[in-house]
Chains A and B, each alone.
Chain A
Amino acid sequence: MQEAMIKRAKELLADGTVNRVIGWKRGEFVYDSTPAVFGTADEIDAEFVFDDFTQANVSKYLVKESKKDGKILAFLKPCDTYSFNQLVKEHRIIRENVYVIGIPGGPKLDIEKIKAKGITGILNVKNVNYTLEIETLYGTEKLPFYEAISGKCADCKSKKHVVYDELIGEDGDVLDSNRFDMVEKLENMTAQERYDFWRGELSKCIRCNACRNVCPACTCENCVFDNPKSGIENKAAADSFEENMFHIIRAFHVAGRCTDCGECSRVCPQHIPLHLLNRKFIKDINSLYGEYQAGADTTSKSPLTDYRADDCEPSIVHERGVE
């Protein structure tokens, strides 16, 4: 796959269709690849990488990149195409300036899950028929592939590319995933249990703002959390209230626009399951205002910028039975 992508990228650069390519390059270790923009074929040869660790969603980078001169080639996985479409819909990305090549999605690997098995000194990870052969400083270890797949891929909602100019590999289908299971499990707890669960999770927050910075839906030029007059721009939360406030508002600001790409939870250094907050909103929107998948198209109205005269009343929340 990597070879096919490099070949096509070099062709498009050579014939002048695009003047830059956004993809991934290797970081310090084999497993920490990061998004990168390449300007020449040499750079691509030297650094371009696509493997089981290239998880990052590059859509958000295109907000800035699509406003520069010339066209940019973007390799988008199925989940990234939803974010891309949503940003096009919000007029954040100039569609004409991006040449989209759809590439197959995951499942991708989560290095933390490999490390959690006590495997250290990792030099290389190879996938041989769904068994990971992990080359380490201390010898080779084996691990079944599915024990190390990343959380966002385990709950994959769709293998279908909703937007592309061409495809490498085959297009998939929207999946019938069980991504709301954990939300439902929490909903069935008592209020005290839910409170304890979220206090346990949110109290780990160090307010690094990674979830906000990575989120393809969070593209405001001026963010409420950077406003010094808001009283919540502090880096570290001084009180549990601030943690709740930050996470409620962060999730609320992307409600109806979140495509459930799962980047927030992936980048969280404290492993807070932030996607559950977003999924709660998605689940509520689906059940109260009709099925809606943000980014699936560029024409439909987002549920929070739309209304119906016969919408349910908020009392529906209070009538959910005893706490």
Chain B
Amino acid sequence: MQVNENFEPVIVAFCCNWCSYAGADLSGTNRLNYPANVKIIRVPCSCRVNPIFILRAFQRGADGVIICGCHPGDCHYTSGNYFTRRRITLLYSMLDFLGIERNRTRLEWVSAAEGAKFADTMNKFVEDVKKLGKNRRLEDLRCRKQ
């Protein structure tokens, strides 16, 4: 595949309010760099992310979707992220089965103290998606920005 050097992907990150969103905040206050491609959507818990949200993000022009939540065992609602883990594993596997590039999707556990991990994760994910190029397989032509 031809890699377009100037391609800037749109990344949607669903971050749980208690851990990952605070983690993102921490990486900001620590002046750590992560790409501006990442658009954060705050959710109460990672298990709030309905599979439709993920597909909808791709429809509206996202090139990659990453879900961040508390580490397993640390969920502020006790067990939310355990359900996330099963659901999202199955959904990503299904997207892969339908031939959607598997590196467009990611799930990472980022705690409120892991500002550096948040920045690292995002840097790496943006790199991976850049290699894949524009999302063509799950885009909606009607939502395309001209």
Contact = CB atoms under 8 A, between A and B. Distances in A.
Are A and B bound to each other?
yes
A266 B44 CA distance: 41
A61 interface: no
A117 interface: no
Interface in A281-323: 281, 284-285, 288-289, 303-309, 311-318, 320, 323
Interface in B89-135: 89-103, 105-107
B94 A316 contact: no
B55 interface: yes
A285 B90 contact: yes
Interface stretch (A44-52, A89-97, A154-162, A188-196): A188-196
B139 interface: yes
B85 A314 contact: yes
B51 to A, nearest CB: 5
A280 B85 contact: no
B101 A245 contact: no
A314 B92 contact: yes
B51 A249 contact: yes
A251 B99 contact: no
Contacts of B102: 191, 317-318, 320, 323
Given A289-B86, A304-B83, A304-B87, A241 B97 contact: no
B40 interface: no
B137 interface: yes
B34 interface: no
Is the contact region of chain A dominated by helix, strand, or loop, or is it mixed?
Answer: helix
Contacts of B139: 241
A241 B107 CA distance: 23
Contact-size category for A: 35 or more
Interface residues of B, number: 38
A242 B97 CA distance: 17
A239 B79 contact: no
Interface string A187-209: 10001111111110000000000
A304 B84 CA distance: 9
A257 B12 CA distance: 30
Contact of B97 (A245, A280, A285, A318): A280
A244 interface: yes
B142 interface: yes
B82 A252 contact: no
B98 A252 contact: no
Interface string A115-145: 0000000000000000000000000000000
A194 B99 contact: yes
A118 to B, nearest CB: 34
B110 to A, nearest CB: 14
A297 to B, nearest CB: 20
Contacts of A312: 89
A306 B93 CA distance: 18
A284 B103 contact: no
A118 B102 CA distance: 43
A14 to B, nearest CB: 49
A318 B103 contact: yes
Given A195-B98, A241-B138, A317-B102, A309 B82 contact: yes
Interface of B: 51-52, 55, 58-59, 72-73, 79, 82-83, 85-103, 105-107, 137-142
Interface of A: 183, 186-187, 191-199, 224, 230, 238-239, 241-242, 244-245, 248-249, 251-252, 255, 277, 280-281, 284-285, 288-289, 303-309, 311-318, 320, 323
**Pairs of residues from A and B, 9 with the lowest C-beta to C-beta distance, nearest first:** A195-B99, A307-B82, A194-B99, A241-B140, A314-B89, A314-B107, A317-B92, A191-B99, A239-B140
Given A309-B82, A323-B101, 10 more contacts: A183-B97, A194-B98, A194-B99, A244-B55, A305-B83, A307-B82, A312-B89, A314-B88, A314-B106, A320-B96
27 contacts: A183-B97, A191-B96, A191-B101, A195-B100, A195-B137, A198-B98, A224-B52, A239-B140, A241-B59, A245-B52, A252-B91, A277-B94, A281-B94, A284-B93, A304-B87, A305-B83, A309-B73, A309-B82, A311-B85, A311-B86, A311-B89, A313-B89, A317-B96, A317-B102, A318-B106, A320-B96, A323-B102
